[in-house]
Amino acid sequence: MAYQSVNPNTGKVLKTFESLNDAQLETSLAVAESCFQTWKHKSYAERAVILNKAAALMHAHVDDFAQLETLEMGKLITEARGEVKLSADILAYYAKNAEAFLAPEKLNPKVGQAHMESSPLGVLLCVEPWNFPYYQLARVAGPQLMAGNTLVVKHASCVPQCAIAFEKLLLDAGAPAGAYTNLLISHEQCNQVIDDPRIKGVALTGSVEAGRQVAARAGQNLKKSCMELGGSDAFIVLADADLDKAIPWAVWGRMYNGGQTCCAAKRFIAEASIADEFLAKFTAALKELQPGDPMEEATTLGPLSTEGALLQLLEQVDAAVKGGATLLMGGQRIDRPGSFMQTTILTNIAPTNPAFRDEFFGPVVSFFCVPDEAAAIALANDSDFGLGGSVWTKDEARGKRVASQIDTGMMFVNNIDWTDAELPFGGIKHSGYGRELGNMGIQEFVNKKLVRTTQLAFPA
């Protein structure tokens, strides 16, 4: 399996990398295990020096990291800079807070003393996606390196240069060989790594199908796993919503990262009394987006990450229309070089239409009109996914009440601002299990050990 870097703006191959052979893979695993035996004994302060240095290097070279990402996956350069800064902030966040998050927790048994203490598990395998080439890596590297684990990482095959750049970043920051190792490996080799007894846990961000395969393999080996999978988040517009605030968020929520985000707003559900006005303003705002070279600051609609991603999305839209959906706008490839798709809106999507259940990973809007709040809640919950969602209303108490009734791992009232290191990220149902970021993220791959000391009389 070759790792190929292709510029989706032009379709031209940038670089190709060969996968590791089995002997090279064995060396990488051995070094990661050897490193763990010393890394786990480092103090939080010693680990923090390295993570803080990595964060500082990212901030100092924002444009270098961002431009590589834009070349390799087509992210708008302004958004790429934001991702680099966020990734650096995540590393610094865990450098600062890890020790407090994993501090011994005092318990209060009826007799004697007891506490819970945390210790690292060992070498972790992290399987990460292309849509946020640095952020996804920082989400595992920050907490798990600070917890004392070491990582071997299989990144997506279409962003090998970003993967190599992140590994180099940590080495340049002073991380010992084996603390964080990028693996250019095949899917078959990935299974070998999961089976390897030196691997103590598996984290994956990716598709539902990838999650099923990796989680099953980890389960067969009785290894802890954390899965962050797809989403079909509802954007619920209640009758009293402030559209001047909701429309910009609707555009951002659907179109950020070219719509290629697990927690993007994908299903827009509006109460009937406001539906026509919302849809008209939303459509007008989407039409303002300008396709172009993602390196150019003026571009507001970049390419999809790969040609394959574009073709899959076009097939999904065609299937939706054949299934009875109305194509309100878009639905076609943009006539220019690169993997560009028109911004698309589908309406009149029946429950029997494949579009009702599918996740559209790109600039495709699914729009629904419902009679009232109860119907909006029911429709939002009628999904195989349960990642996130949002509610839009001038009545914050109402928004919170509705948010509490949506079956997801995250809900937002009058915003979709999930980009914060302090906020736990994750979902339920087919969106996976476990959490990344915040205090919860660092707890996923540590041993929570009970220690009790007391002079109890031996039971009679």
CB 169 within 8 A of CB 58: yes
Give the per-residue SS3 of 28-95. Answer: HHHHHHHHHHHHCCCCHHHHHHHHHHHHHHHHHCHHHHHHHHHHHHCCCHHHHHHHHHHHHHHHHHHH
The verdict on whether 228 is a catalytic residue reads: yes
Judging by DSSP bridges, how do beta strands 265-271 and 233-237 pair with one another? parallel
Alpha carbon distance 314, 326 (integer Å): 15
Please count the other Cβ atoms lying within 10 Å of the Cβ belonging to residue 427: 27
Of residues 360, 257, 345, the one with CA closest to residue 302: 257
User: Distances in Å between the alpha carbon of 97 and those of 6, 175, 378, 438?
Assistant: 38, 19, 39, 9
Tell me, what amino acid is at 208?
Answer: V
Please count the other Cβ atoms lying within 10 Å of the Cβ belonging to residue 95: 23
The verdict on whether 263 is a catalytic residue reads: no
CB 327 within 8 A of CB 336: no
CB 109 within 8 A of CB 454: yes
Give the rounded distance of the alpha carbon of 169 from its chain centre: 21
SS3 label, residue 330: coil
Q: Of the residues 69, 79, 128, 228, which is catalytic?
A: 228
Q: Of the residues 35, 190, 226, 262, which is catalytic?
A: 262
Tokens 């605030």 identify what position? 245
CB 113 within 8 A of CB 452: yes
| Residues identified as active-site | 228, 262
